[in-house]
């Protein structure tokens, strides 16, 4: 929003530079034509039609959003198609959970890596989806055709939904597509997105995590970086090419387009573009929203997860089995643990609050000069909403982080509600009842595979106690009343009772896999309904929903106020080309490869090499350990064809491309559309980027295709994968 702020403040000098700075902006593909001249000046060699074209194959046909069945549009990562057999490149951390799920103590693919030497060896991942956009359309006029200014927000939303449902139904008629209508600019604009979603995505290759996760938490969100953050998957279809769930009869996807992979390399100043599915930004956020983000969300996410991660870290060191069980959970939790901490530092250091407040002052002056009733009360309304919901927001954050997603059992116990209803249903036949039992038994086996009772005990005691110490009693779930009545508020005693069998108190059926399977041999509804962990989970979720409902009630006027605020900002600057906040829809960003100067006396180069990996390597530190083969290859200088002009093996590089979460795994391309790397991270100095783009500091951290191919080729000897790729050298 630095550009938007500059315009509002009327700073002529800064305004004159707006059209030459390329880094900022996550652009909808339909907007690229308006940026074309600037992109050409930066080094773009293609045309807008080469990026987005409904009638012929183009780059967008090779950009894949990775999601989960049931939530296919909530892309957790991006991938790129790199072969005519549906091969995908994405990040190692994007595939981390799937790699872990296929691992055992005896065959630990996280530790040792995994390389399928044939299609038969590729591993299915139930529930993972791969989404490719077919087309997009601005449907604002259609969606808002029956909307009037006199409508309440509820009436407005109903009218919008009615038209949106009709558009979706029409778009999905007589085809295999899935569509959605998505708002942009805080409900000021609407687009229809039509996707084809594949349901059979298989693991093909991954380096050991000592390569793919090199640097761990220490290097996370940091530059210089030396992480080989990539993994390889493949999309499969039914024999006729249509989307299908996993089957042995399925065949590799024949994509419309796949990207050539470049080993030419990139120099400072070279053009770069990133295409992917960024999850969410909030650059039109007001200072009042920023205050809640910093003081409620970021602060307490960091504090609560610090307790959780400390417990996991210590337990994972004790036992290889526990380490494997909690590897993915730890990685998921630690990523935004550090992000929250670093974002608050960056926001304070860059005075983002001051910039937001200055923008709001100018907005208010404009509204009052215009004497617009529509805009004059907007900021007052937003301020009041955030103030009156503050206590509820804090309680909800604690309920979420400490109780719902802190330990594992509350969510799992709540997931048994539908099973309980089936057990209580007297109309079910014996066959239907047995089927319900078998389905839940499979769900339980999957849960307990990555569960350790002693770890869970410690998480419950520590996190529940922390919640009780920091949150007003009126927000306590019902289970807390029992702990205070029966155990005098001692959560250590409480967790011992629910996990330990005694004469007076049988332990919970959820306590461990053995207890659950014993229960499922002859499950009784009353046993489940009275179970202490079942009651714990349902009471926590009940309170969470209650608090969320109160927040929503207190926030009713916020949606309209935010919509008017963004509308006003755009009205002030009619000639400026705005880009919408990220929302998991496909975007393109363009910029240049460049280093940066984070602080006085410090200058960062734009790339790193294998020399830096070896400088950091430390066998005594699990975050910086390396496979023995890496040392051997380095000593013998076996770098193959992947070196730069200096004879170095490049590992990572940085650009000023604008990215955020969801862009992980996004293909990074040169001006010709050749793949030159995979985006995987941002830098701590610009952790404010989701809220405020910082042109001098914000960098996209990318793993170089030369390092990816070197690991596949020289390290892993996976020639079968290399043979699939279209490798270009210029």
Residue 653 lies in a domain: no
Element (H, E) at 266: none
pLDDT digits (tens, 9 = 90+) for 84-101: 999 999 999 999 999 999
For residue 511, the model assigns a pLDDT of: 95
Residue 185's domain comprises 50-216+225-262
What Cα–Cα distance (Å) separates residue 335 from each residue in 100, 309, 525, 661? 17, 11, 39, 11
**Angle at Cα 572 formed by Cα 566 and Cα 577, nearest 5°?**
75
Q: Provide the annotated active-site residues.
A: 93, 229, 664
Is the four-CA dihedral 422, 426, 429, 431 of positive or negative sign?
A: positive
Q: Has residue 710 got a pLDDT over 70? A: yes
CATH number at residue 252: 2.40.10.10
Q: Has residue 66 got a pLDDT over 70? A: yes
Question: Do 186 and 243 reside in the same domain of the chain?
Answer: yes
Residues 6+ apart with CB under 8 A from 85: 234, 252, 253, 254, 724
% of the chain exceeding 70 in pLDDT: 96
Q: Has residue 538 got a pLDDT over 90? A: yes
Cβ–Cβ under 8 Å, residues 691 and 347 = yes
Question: Do 87 and 195 reside in the same domain of the chain?
Answer: yes
Task: Report helix angle 478-487 to 532-554, nearest 10.
Answer: 130
Q: Which of 645, 424, 415, 396 is nearest to 538 (CA)?
A: 415
Q: Please count the helices (runs of H) and the strands (runs of E) in the chain.
A: 31, 22
Rounded to an integer, what is the distance from CA 290 to the centroid of its chain?
20
Per the prediction, the chain carries an average pLDDT of: 94
Question: Do 60 and 99 reside in the same domain of the chain?
Answer: yes
Question: Do 489 and 567 reside in the same domain of the chain?
Answer: no
Question: Do 107 and 247 reside in the same domain of the chain?
Answer: yes
Q: Has residue 506 got a pLDDT over 90? A: no
pLDDT digits (tens, 9 = 90+) for 267-326: 999 999 999 999 999 999 999 999 999 999 999 999 999 999 999 999 999 999 999 999
Strand segments, DSSP code E, in 142-229 are: 177-184, 189-198, 200-206
Cβ–Cβ under 8 Å, residues 222 and 683 = yes
Cβ–Cβ under 8 Å, residues 208 and 200 = no
Which residue did the predictor score with more confidence, 505 or 363?
Answer: 363
**Angle at Cα 398 formed by Cα 337 and Cα 93, nearest 5°?**
30
For residue 503, the model assigns a pLDDT of: 55
Cβ–Cβ under 8 Å, residues 595 and 606 = yes
Element (H, E) at 482: helix 478-487
How far apart, in whole angstroms, are the C-alpha atoms of residue 188 and residue 184?
Answer: 6
Q: Which of 408, 422, 417, 440 is nearest to 521 (CA)?
A: 440
Which token pair is 384?
Answer: 């009041």
Give the number of residues written for the chain. Answer: 730
For residue 12, the model assigns a pLDDT of: 27
Q: Has residue 536 got a pLDDT over 90? A: yes
Q: Looking at residue 688, what DSSP letter applies? A: G
Max CA pair span of the chain: 79
How far apart, in whole angstroms, are the C-alpha atoms of residue 598 and residue 586?
Answer: 30
- Asked if residue 224 has a cis previous peptide bond (ω within 30° of 0), the answer is yes
Q: Looking at residue 506, what DSSP letter applies? A: P
Q: Which of 703, 417, 380 is nearest to 541 (CA)?
A: 417
pLDDT digits (tens, 9 = 90+) for 598-647: 999 999 999 999 999 999 999 999 999 999 999 999 999 999 999 999 99
Question: Do 344 and 421 reside in the same domain of the chain?
Answer: no
For residue 40, the model assigns a pLDDT of: 95
Question: Do 242 and 332 reside in the same domain of the chain?
Answer: no
**DSSP helix/strand/coil, 301:** helix
pLDDT digits (tens, 9 = 90+) for 446-476: 999 999 999 999 999 999 999 999 999 999 9
Question: Do 522 and 378 reside in the same domain of the chain?
Answer: no
505 phi, psi to nearest 5 deg = -145, 95
How far apart, in whole angstroms, are the C-alpha atoms of residue 236 and residue 241?
Answer: 8
For the chain, report the end-to-end CA distance as a whole number of angstroms: 36
Residue 105 lies in a domain: yes
Confidence of residue 504 (pLDDT cuts 50, 70, 90): low
Read off the pLDDT of each residue in 357-372 and give the average, rounded to a whole number. 94
- Neighbour count for residue 63 (Cβ, 10 Å): 27
Which token pair is 457?
Answer: 């005990």
Residue 304 lies in a domain: yes
- Neighbour count for residue 641 (Cβ, 10 Å): 12
Residue 674 lies in a domain: no
For strands 727-728 and 261-262, give the pairing.
parallel
For residue 445, the model assigns a pLDDT of: 96
Cβ–Cβ under 8 Å, residues 201 and 130 = yes
Per DSSP, the residues of 383-452 read HHHHHHTHHHHHHHHHIIIIIISSSSHHHHHHTTHHHHHHHH-TT--HHHHHHHHHHHHHHHHHHHHT--
CA 146, 148, 151, 156: dihedral to nearest 10 degrees?
40
Which token pair is 183?
Answer: 């708002």
Question: Do 248 and 297 reside in the same domain of the chain?
Answer: no
Which token pair is 253?
Answer: 């996807």
For residue 72, the model assigns a pLDDT of: 82
How far apart, in whole angstroms, are the C-alpha atoms of residue 557 and residue 389?
Answer: 12
Q: Looking at residue 507, what DSSP letter applies? A: P
How far apart, in whole angstroms, are the C-alpha atoms of residue 697 and residue 686?
Answer: 6
Question: Do 382 and 407 reside in the same domain of the chain?
Answer: no
For residue 501, the model assigns a pLDDT of: 73
Read off the pLDDT of each residue in 105-124 and give the average, rounded to a whole number. 97
Q: Has residue 32 got a pLDDT over 70? A: yes
For residue 23, the model assigns a pLDDT of: 78
Cβ–Cβ under 8 Å, residues 676 and 606 = no
Question: Do 457 and 560 reside in the same domain of the chain?
Answer: no
Confidence of residue 11 (pLDDT cuts 50, 70, 90): very low
Domain count, the chain: 3
Residue with tokens 């800064």: 14
For residue 576, the model assigns a pLDDT of: 86
Which token pair is 75?
Answer: 């892309």
Residue 458 lies in a domain: yes
How far apart, in whole angstroms, are the C-alpha atoms of residue 271 and residue 655?
Answer: 9
Residue 128 lies in a domain: yes
Question: Do 512 and 418 reside in the same domain of the chain?
Answer: yes
Read off the pLDDT of each residue in 13-38 and give the average, rounded to a whole number. 70
- Neighbour count for residue 730 (Cβ, 10 Å): 7
Read off the pLDDT of each residue in 255-264 and give the average, rounded to a whole number. 98
Residue 397 lies in a domain: no
Which token pair is 284?
Answer: 């039109």
Q: Looking at residue 333, what DSSP letter applies? A: H
Three-class DSSP labels, 561-619: HHHHHHHHHHHHCCCCCCCCCCCCCCEEEEEEECCEEEECCEEECCEEEHHHHHHHCCC
Q: Has residue 22 got a pLDDT over 60? A: no
Cβ-count burial 110-144 (b if 16+ within 10 Å, e if not): bbebbbbeeeeebebbeebbbbbbbbbbebeebbb
pLDDT digits (tens, 9 = 90+) for 190-230: 999 999 999 999 999 999 999 999 999 999 999 999 999 99
How far apart, in whole angstroms, are the C-alpha atoms of residue 584 and residue 662?
Answer: 7
**Angle at Cα 248 formed by Cα 245 and Cα 249, nearest 5°?**
85
Report, in this order, helix, strand and coil percent for the chain, each rounded to 5.
50, 15, 35
Residue 472 lies in a domain: yes
């Amino acid at each position: 929003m630095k550009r938007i702020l500059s315009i509002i403040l009327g700073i002529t000098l800064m305004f004159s530079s707006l059209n030459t700075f390329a880094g900022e902006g996550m652009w909808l593909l339909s907007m690229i034509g308006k940026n074309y001249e600037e992109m050409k000046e930066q080094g773009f060699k293609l045309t807008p039609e080469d990026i987005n074209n409904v009638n012929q194959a183009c780059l967008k046909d090779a950009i894949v959003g990775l999601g989960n069945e049931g939530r296919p549009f909530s892309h957790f990562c991006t991938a790129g198609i790199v072969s005519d057999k549906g091969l995908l490149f994405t990040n190692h951390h994007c595939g981390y959970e799937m790699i872990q799920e296929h691992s055992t103590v005896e065959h630990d693919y996280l530790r040792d890596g995994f390389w399928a030497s044939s299609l038969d060896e590729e591993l299915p991942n139930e529930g993972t989806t791969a989404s490719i956009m077919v087309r997009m359309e601005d449907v604002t006029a259609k969606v808002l055709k029956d909307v009037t200014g006199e409508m309440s927000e509820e009436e407005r939303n109903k009218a919008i939904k009615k038209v949106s449902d009709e558009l979706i139904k029409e778009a999905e008629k007589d085809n295999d597509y899935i569509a959605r209508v998505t708002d942009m600019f805080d409900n000021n604009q609407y687009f229809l997105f039509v996707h084809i979603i594949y349901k059979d995505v298989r693991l093909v290759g991954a380096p050991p995590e000592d390569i793919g996760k090199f640097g761990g938490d220490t290097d996370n969100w940091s530059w210089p970086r030396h992480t080989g953050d990539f993994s390889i998957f493949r999309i499969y279809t039914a024999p006729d090419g249509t989307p299908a769930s996993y089957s042995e009869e399925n065949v590799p996807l024949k994509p419309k387009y796949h990207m050539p992979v470049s080993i030419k390399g990139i120099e400072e100043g070279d053009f770069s573009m990133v295409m992917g599915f960024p999850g969410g930004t909030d650059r039109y956020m007001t200072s009042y929203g920023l205050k809640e983000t910093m003081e409620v969300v970021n602060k307490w996410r960091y504090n609560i997860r610090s307790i959780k991660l400390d417990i996991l870290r210590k337990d994972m060191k004790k036992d290889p089995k526990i380490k494997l069980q909690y590897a993915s959970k730890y990685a998921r939790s630690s990523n935004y643990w550090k992000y929250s901490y670093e974002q608050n530092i960056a926001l304070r250091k860059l005075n983002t609050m001051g910039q937001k407040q200055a923008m709001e002052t100018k907005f208010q002056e404009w509204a009052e000069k215009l004497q617009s009733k529509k805009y004059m009360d907007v900021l007052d309304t937003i301020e009041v909403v955030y103030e009156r919901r503050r206590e509820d927001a804090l309680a909800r954050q604690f309920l979420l982080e400490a109780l719902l997603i802190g330990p594992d059992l509350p969510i799992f116990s709540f997931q048994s509600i539908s099973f309980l209803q089936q057990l209580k249903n007297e109309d079910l036949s014996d066959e239907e009842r047995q089927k319900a039992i078998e389905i839940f038994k499979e769900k339980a086996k999957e849960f307990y595979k990555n569960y350790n009772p002693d770890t869970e005990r410690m998480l419950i005691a520590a996190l529940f106690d922390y919640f009780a110490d920091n949150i007003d009693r009126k927000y306590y779930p019902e289970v807390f009343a029992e702990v205070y009545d029966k155990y005098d508020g001692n959560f250590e005693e409480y967790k011992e009772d629910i996990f330990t069998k005694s004469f007076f108190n049988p332990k919970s059926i959820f306590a461990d896999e053995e207890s659950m399977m014993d229960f499922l041999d002859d499950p009784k509804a009353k046993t489940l309904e009275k179970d202490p962990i079942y009651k714990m989970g349902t009471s926590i979720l009940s309170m969470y929903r209650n608090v969320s409902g109160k927040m929503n009630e207190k926030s009713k006027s916020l949606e309209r106020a935010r919509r008017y605020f963004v509308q006003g900002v755009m009205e002030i600057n009619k000639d400026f080309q705005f880009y919408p906040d990220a929302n998991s829809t496909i975007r393109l960003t363009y910029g240049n490869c460049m280093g940066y100067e984070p602080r006085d006396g410090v200058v960062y180069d734009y790339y790193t090499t294998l020399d830096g990996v070896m400088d950091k390597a430390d066998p005594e530190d699990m975050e910086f350990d390396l496979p023995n083969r890496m040392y051997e290859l380095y000593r013998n200088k076996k770098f193959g064809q992947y070196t730069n002009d200096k004879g170095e093996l490049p590992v990572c590089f940085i650009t000023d491309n604008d990215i955020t979460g969801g862009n992980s795994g996004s293909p990074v391309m040169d001006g010709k559309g050749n793949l030159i790397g995979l985006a995987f991270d941002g830098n701590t100095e610009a952790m404010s980027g989701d809220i405020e783009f910082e042109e001098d500091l914000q960098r996209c951290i990318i793993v170089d295709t030369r390092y990816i191919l070197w690991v596949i080729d020289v390290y892993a000897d996976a020639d079968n994968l290399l043979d699939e790729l279209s490798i270009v050298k210029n």
